[in-house]
A and B are shown apart, each in its own frame.
Chain A
């Protein structure tokens, strides 16, 4: 009650939703700028065209999946099975390519499999009411084991399709194809969240699912949608990854889910749902990948690639809390 006493009378000077997000992204933008400057002072080759392209290529896979994951986390759910699914998708896609020699069928198989994983997660969460953290850990374990039942070793490229290689290694002008795909998916997801009724309902479901249900909107379908979209994004990313590695690797994607979720959270999307944006996610992905890149070009111990992002996430989240507290007064 006392909080309401406060906030009512101080309402005019409070931040509104959009600005709140904006300033959270501002913090991240500053972090990114500082990182870039610091790295480039120590290693001037940071700004070389080759390195920038390398960073963008590194970002592409994470950004593709993070686009779906942002939607999902905005609805207050999460999917931890994306890493395991990513590896499985690559193996299945490659196996289908080997037997059909058709890129279309290979892609469709990958999308169908990944979409089905998303649907399964969504049904377990919305129908069986299992908490998504637990449900998708379950799926993750099933997929991690399942991929070894499917193949004990990497599925090699026996089809030699040139179009498949282009998927990962090709360029559109000067830009790598995976980056173009990531940009398209990102733009589509961002426009959906920002401008469509669907996007608004996704935020609404995360902000208060019961209110959405009482308003006559089928909240479960919205969550199901977000799970499936996340799955489909994994399908796309999985195929690109197998093209880059020229094999379906059952061990690929370990820890990938953590990178994706870390980028989304770093970008200011609330795990509690109802709050977040894709622009933030983009910045989050960039920050993580610039750190990765910096560690490599500075010649630091590569194990720091896990350590430093861990520190950054805690710091950034803490800064966000401090900033929110300052706003509330």
Chain B
């Protein structure tokens, strides 16, 4: 493999008049579903093109067709004006397309340099691998994208942000002309995001066409030149970013207008202390955290990655052990420190990780909803299925949970509807305090506003809501009071009307 083009300062000769990639009339059906219907996409060299849409819009299918993971049923793909036949990931790479998937496909046990040249190690005399050259070439690639990763480091030991850089370096090693970034920021800190953006802009400056797949509006406004929106497998719009506002983008994505993302219907919070936490510490993270949450209040916790929000959430419901401190719900101590005590006292966690801590994916919707309150439907140990299903149906109707039936396996529901099932689980049980951890993670824009409305309603019904979030708009839009964490400590707690993005971020940095 030649890496001669890598000398610093060298510019890449790219014919900017010919699109780097042109997809025309792409169609893809899976049994029973039309995943893509007549979708067009044109990527210009040196431009950053955002691809947006809700879950199920077809973004993933489209990029998987580009990557050769799926074959297409209809349409054509042209690269630099020449029609290409992409049948496998190998073809795609050969045509100069590099897709950096959300789940990074590097070999964790290999060094960074080995991963970069995985498809073709430079060989020396007698076919032996030229390790010196691999390392040097890798270092040169990183210089090129303006980000340094130690080529000798074991890939698995690096944070996701640096693994992405390794993937991008691989793209350069393959002389990619099109680089696709699939939801690249979902596990990055703000600092890492801005570094990534610098690198992405550098790729564009090298004449590479970048396709940036995301559903985060603010990111797209920051980085994209052009935006294409898909909905239900169809192309909705392609416009320069300058022609869009937040509202028009959301409207394109969900097909309707959202008047107010944070409708507030509840009254002022009460003064009754529902949850009191004193001097809470855990072995790994939390240091002396104390706060109170009132009935009818949304208390928002903000913090950067690793600040300890999830750790706090799991500790105060009794899931993770604590080393010191006292937790009381309505004046009753959470002792022994176990979830069954917590649930009995009326505190429960709506987890950030629905799949591994919330849902029983294989089981039907109604069993997922009634899990915490099954005892209430029992007569002499037997489940009264009729009243159970009636109760669940009630929540399905009230929260407009979209499911074909109560017997549908919950894994088949969309993220937003799954979240509503899990909220129902707690409401059926009846709580005094609900801890919600990243309540809108993995949830579409359209469904987000419904979740916000539900949280507002929970507080309106007198629950104390403790909300952990890394989303500033969510925090400012929903919380009555805002607590900020940094490295396991509580650094600030302020009423909403005294909070500004600036003083929140200052407290989050410590």
Contacts and interface: CB of A to CB of B under 8 A. Distances in A.
B35 interface: yes
B319 A215 contact: no
Contacts of B359: 208, 211
Contact of A211 (B342, B358, B413): B358
Nearest to A207: B360
Interface in B390-440: 403-405, 407-409, 411-415, 425, 429
A216 B412 contact: no
B294 to A, nearest CB: 23
Nearest to A326: B31
A216 B383 contact: no
Interface string B22-61: 0000000011110100000000000000000001111011
Nearest to A221: B340
A210 B314 CA distance: 12
Given A1-B55, A211-B359, A216-B340, A201 B374 contact: yes
A217 interface: yes
B358 A5 contact: no
Nearest to A191: B382
A201 B362 CA distance: 14
A214 B381 contact: no
Given A211-B359, A214-B351, A6 B30 contact: yes
B236 to A, nearest CB: 16
A299 interface: no
Contacts of B84: none
A323 B220 CA distance: 43
Contacts of A215: 339, 343, 348, 371-372, 425, 429
Interface string B267-291: 0000000000000000000000000
Nearest to B356: A210
A274 B31 contact: no
Contact of A195 (B58, B382, B407, B413): B382
Contacts of A45: none
Interface stretch (A14-22, A55-63, A120-128): A14-22
A99 interface: no
Interface string A135-148: 00000000000000
Contacts of B89: none
Interface string B342-386: 111000110100001111111110010001101101100111000
Contact of A216 (B348, B382, B405, B408): B348
A223 interface: no
A16 B408 contact: yes
A261 to B, nearest CB: 20
B61 A214 contact: no
Contacts, number: 136
Nearest to A210: B357
Contacts of A6: 30, 33, 35
A208 B358 CA distance: 8
Interface in A215-232: 215-218
A210 B340 CA distance: 12
Interface residues of A, number: 38
Contact of B356 (A197, A201, A208, A274): A208
B72 to A, nearest CB: 14
B372 A207 contact: no
B404 A11 contact: yes
B307 interface: no
Contacts of B425: 215
Interface in A23-66: none
A17 B381 CA distance: 23
B78 interface: no
A213 B339 contact: yes
Nearest to B232: A9
A131 interface: no
B168 interface: no
A213 to B, nearest CB: 5
Nearest to A275: B362
B360 A17 contact: no
B344 A216 contact: yes
Contacts of B338: 218
Contacts of B415: 4
Contact of A8 (B31, B348, B412): B412
A50 to B, nearest CB: 40
Given A5-B60, A208-B356, A214 B349 contact: yes
Secondary structure of the B contact surface, majority rule: mixed
A10 B374 contact: no
B362 A10 contact: no
B468 interface: no
Given A5-B61, A6-B35, A14-B408, A197 B381 contact: yes
Interface string A175-205: 0000000000000000000011110110110
B457 interface: no
Interface in A236-295: 274-275
B111 interface: no
Contacts of B381: 196-198
A12 B357 CA distance: 26
B56 A197 contact: no
A166 to B, nearest CB: 33
Nearest to B357: A210
B64 interface: yes
Contacts of A216: 339-340, 342-344, 348, 372, 429
A10 B31 contact: yes
A16 B409 contact: yes
A4 to B, nearest CB: 6
Contacts of A200: 367, 374, 383
Q: Which of A10, A13, A18, A215 has the most CB of B within 10 A?
A: A215
A145 to B, nearest CB: 37
A302 to B, nearest CB: 40
A212 interface: yes
A104 interface: no
Contact of B56 (A5, A14, A204): A5
B68 to A, nearest CB: 14
Nearest to B314: A214
B229 interface: no
A303 interface: no
A197 B374 contact: yes
Contacts of A9: 32-33, 56
B310 interface: no
Nearest to B343: A216
A7 interface: yes
A14 B364 CA distance: 12
Nearest to B317: A214
A329 interface: yes
B412 A11 contact: yes
Nearest to B364: A17
Nearest to B338: A218
Q: Which 5 A-B pairs have the closest CB atoms?
A: A216-B343, A329-B31, A207-B360, A215-B372, A16-B407
Given A207-B363, A212-B371, 5 more contacts: A4-B55, A7-B412, A11-B408, A213-B319, A216-B339
30 contacts: A5-B35, A5-B58, A5-B61, A6-B30, A6-B33, A8-B55, A10-B30, A10-B33, A11-B404, A11-B412, A14-B412, A16-B405, A16-B409, A17-B364, A196-B382, A196-B383, A197-B381, A200-B374, A200-B383, A207-B362, A208-B360, A211-B357, A214-B357, A214-B358, A215-B339, A215-B348, A216-B342, A274-B360, A275-B362, A329-B30
Interface of B: 30-33, 35, 55-58, 60-61, 64, 102, 317, 319, 338-340, 342-344, 348-349, 351, 356-364, 367, 371-372, 374-375, 377-378, 381-383, 403-405, 407-409, 411-415, 425, 429
